[in-house]
Amino acid sequence: MAHGFDQLRERRAGDGARIAWRVRVPALPEPQRGAPVLLLHGLASNATRFEEFAEHSRLAQRHALIRVDLRGHGAALTRGRTDIGAWCDDLAAVLDAEGGEAALLVGHSLGAQVALQFARRQPARVRGLALIDPVFREALHGRWRLLATASPLLALAAAAVRGLNALGLHRGALPPLDLRALDEAARRALAASPEAERAFVAQYSSARADLRHVPLAVYLQDLVEMFRPAPRPRELDLPVLALLSSGATFADAGEMRAALAGPRVTLRTVHCQHWPLTERPAEVRQAVEDWVEQVDPPGPQPTSPST
């Protein structure tokens, strides 16, 4: 199978935490390759979120596609520290390991937040950002705004749970979550009936389902970091693609567009709930591919010596 070409790579962070990612390297010689593309998953997710994307994307012909398990998730599971600072340090370590000076970052939800924060902290290492349903705190409304306001309490709760974990008080091994298989099942449900669609939305919105696969402390910290104030794209002076779900209800659409407004921002709407990669994978993939090829076009190909 094509996804068998993905290589799992690991290293240890300075604090001993495991860093894990999967990379698909193009067959082209290095001088002909484009910038590496880092693919960053969302809250309570993992690198399998972008497995289907990486397998089918034409970007793999010219770009290294690097699917990162953010610390605390997937193959980088931990019950220790997880936060924006650690994730940004880990991304820099991944780029160092892959020999990439600067990358294009593609992030979904929490992954979009990480991409924005990384671009602010290490601007020289970012060529552009593709943000799929990013979260801007000032645009949140309803229960999401209340949850964001409670971020200090969530942070305290996460720290308390980490303390208990350090004492050996935690659940046993957590089963891995294969989001590609779940996505395929979800698309079958969406095609079946309105009742199946409602069941899909309920499942994908369920914290209980998420916690079957993610440590509680990690989940709580994910919420804290997702609601952290993020830089607006126009502050970063980078090319940005923003894909917004038409059915997303967590934020005010006008406020979101205001947060994303900027001279170097391409804004598109995807007609789905909050899971574009699940519901509209081909549409999202093509939008990202077209944008990457504009931001990082292939250079002139070497000519064969004349005979």
- The pair of structure tokens assigned to 152 is 């200090």
Share of the chain above pLDDT 90, in %: 82
Q: Is residue 19 predicted with pLDDT exceeding 90?
A: yes
Grouping H, G, I as helix, E, B as strand and the rest as coil, residue 71 is coil
- The pair of structure tokens assigned to 303 is 């000519």
User: How many CB atoms sit inside 10 A of residue 268's CB?
Assistant: 12
Q: How far apart are CA 65 and CA 59, in angstroms?
A: 8
Question: Measuring CA to CA, which residue among 281, 244, 286 is closest to residue 261?
Answer: 244
The end-to-end CA distance of the chain, in Å, is 40
Residue 3 confidence (pLDDT): 36
CA angle 29, 31, 36 (to 5 degrees): 90
Q: How far apart are CA 166 and CA 160, in angstroms?
A: 10
Residue 45 confidence (pLDDT): 96
Once rounded to an integer, what is the mean pLDDT over residues 216-244? 96
Model pTM? 0.94
Residue 156 confidence (pLDDT): 98
Instruction: Provide the greatest CA pair distance for the chain.
Output: 73
Residue 218: CB partners within 8 Å, gap ≥ 6? 44, 72, 73, 78, 79, 82
- What mean pLDDT, rounded, does the chain reach? 92
CA angle 245, 73, 182 (to 5 degrees): 55
User: How many CB atoms sit inside 10 A of residue 160's CB?
Assistant: 12
Residue 197: CB partners within 8 Å, gap ≥ 6? 189, 190
Which of 89-98, 249-258, 260-269 has the least mean pLDDT? 249-258
pLDDT in tens, 271-301: 987 689 999 999 999 999 999 999 999 876 5
- Extents of the domains making up the chain: 2-295
Residue 94 confidence (pLDDT): 98
149 residue type, one letter: T
Confidence of residue 100 (pLDDT cuts 50, 70, 90): confident
Q: How far apart are CA 176 and CA 156, in angstroms?
A: 27
Residue 255 confidence (pLDDT): 95
pLDDT in tens, 183-205: 888 888 888 888 877 777 777 77
> In this structure, which topology does domain 2-295 adopt according to CATH?
Rossmann fold (3.40.50)
Q: How far lies 189's CA from each of 15, 21, 178, 198, 252, in Å?
A: 43, 30, 17, 9, 28
